[in-house]
Amino acid sequence: MTSRPFVVLFCAVAVATMGISMVSPILPVYAEELGATGIWTGLTFSIFAVTQTIISPFAGRWSDRYGRKPFIILGLLFYFVAAFGYLTAETFVQVLAFRALSGCGTSLIFSVARAYIGDMVPSGTEGRWFGVFAVADIVGFGIGPIFSGALRDSFGFDSVFIGMAILMGSSAAIVAVLLPRHPAQDRLSRLAEPSWGFVQALHDRLVLGLTVLMGLTSLTFGAVFSFLSIRLEHLGAAGLAVGIAFASESFASAASQPLFGPLVDRHDRRVIVIAGLVGSAAGLAALGAAGAYWLIVVLMVVLGIGQAATMVAVAAMQVVAGRRAGMGTVIGLGSAGNGVGIVVGSVVGGALVEVFGLGAPFYFGAAAMLLGAAHVAWLLRNVPTRETLEVILGGDEATDPELVTPGS
């Protein structure tokens, strides 16, 4: 984990996610000022997921064939262009258009960067590696809203978009100059030489189960985070306070994920996923009733810890599936599932807000988390989530679902 590719991608992703998260809390508010209401406000947050859903599977598969680095750089440049687009927007429709362009960047940056790391991970240590690498995402998402809130309070909306552009441009430069074109791959991952198509990959129960799970859990983000900043502002929170509330979830997750990594490598990964989902559901249900700013911050911390457990275990299982189906293909399909969930969640969340008020999306998100836990318990029963040479070469119906990797 101290290799140059890991460090470069860690730094680049941290900077990129900081730039992305700077605008996420303010876009619904920005869109409201430009005339958006209800479902349109939700789409302002989640329209990027439409293009993410379409592009992610192809981006992952293309990167399996042509290499990861060019796609990561291109994704960062898409976000760079989008940042300047927000500066010129005069209607919420224009905001939606540039948010959609951001979805293309999301598809290329995060799916492909995770696939690059997946190529490097030694068998049996997936949880440890992704428990550390995920800190880059989460720290960036945690710092971004605080930085955004401070800029907005001091200099207005435009300064946030300029800051995003600077961060995206610097991250693209880091990758272009310092990231090797190809990583050194683990010996066992090369044996499979995967070339599965999407249909074949989705016939694998582990790939299908993780893809559907990504969709179910991301319903929460579409339904909840589209309206959390608006709810906080209705409670009288200033821009910096809104940023701190968003950041509390991210920092709690960042602190927890490296701790969950070794547990994921030693224990039943499905049990860890289910525990994380149930804990997240409890936090979301409580958020639906919370009426005080400090309580919302505490519950966001609870949500961050639950999400950390789920994310590390899912990432480890994606690497296991990726070694036989194609790393980029598997992670790209998961990203597409994530995009579908965000779109559906934001639309349903917007409809629920119009009918039942701002608390309703949080209860909907809690229900989605519980459905995800039931899905894991049922669909991934008796499915191997660790590797032996037989599993890598296609033995995905081994009788022991928690086989220990040779040499571990």
Q: Which two tokens mark 58?
A: 């192809």
Q: What pLDDT score does 405 carry?
A: 37
DSSP-derived secondary structure letter, 109 = I
Supply φ then ψ for residue 399, to 5 degrees: -75, -30
- Which residue type does 169 have? G
Structural domains of the chain sorted by starting position, each given as residue range(s) with its CATH number in brackets: 4-180+196-392 (1.20.1250.20)
Ranges under pLDDT 50 in the chain: 186-193, 389-408
Per-residue tokens: 56: 């992610």
For residue 408, what pLDDT is reported?
34
Please tell me the predicted confidence (pLDDT) of residue 370: 93
**Structure letter (DSSP) for residue 91:** S
**Which two three-digit tokens encode residue 123?**
């068998």
Collapsing DSSP states into helix, strand and coil, what is residue 19?
A: helix
Return the pLDDT at 387.
65
Q: Are 245 and 300 in contact (CB under 8 A)?
A: yes
Give the Cα separation of 388 and 344 in Å (integer): 37
3-state secondary structure 210-271: HHHHHHHHHHHHHHHHHHHHHHHHHCCCCHHHHHHHHHHHHHHHHHHHHHHHHHHHHCCHHH
The token pair at 83 is 């940042």
Q: Are 19 and 143 in contact (CB under 8 A)?
A: no
In the prediction, which pLDDT does 45 show? 64
Q: Which spans in 267-359 are helix H? A: 269-289, 293-325, 327-356
User: What count of other Cβ atoms lies within 10 Å of the Cβ of residue 182?
Assistant: 12
Quick one: pLDDT at residue 389? 43
Which pLDDT belongs to residue 395? Answer: 47
The 10 Å Cβ neighbour count of residue 354 is: 13
User: What pLDDT shows up at residue 94?
Assistant: 84
Q: Half-sphere exposure (CA, 13 Å, Cβ side) for 26?
A: 30
DSSP state string for 368-379 = HHHHHHHHHHHH
Q: How many helices (H) and strands (E) does the chain have?
A: 19, 0
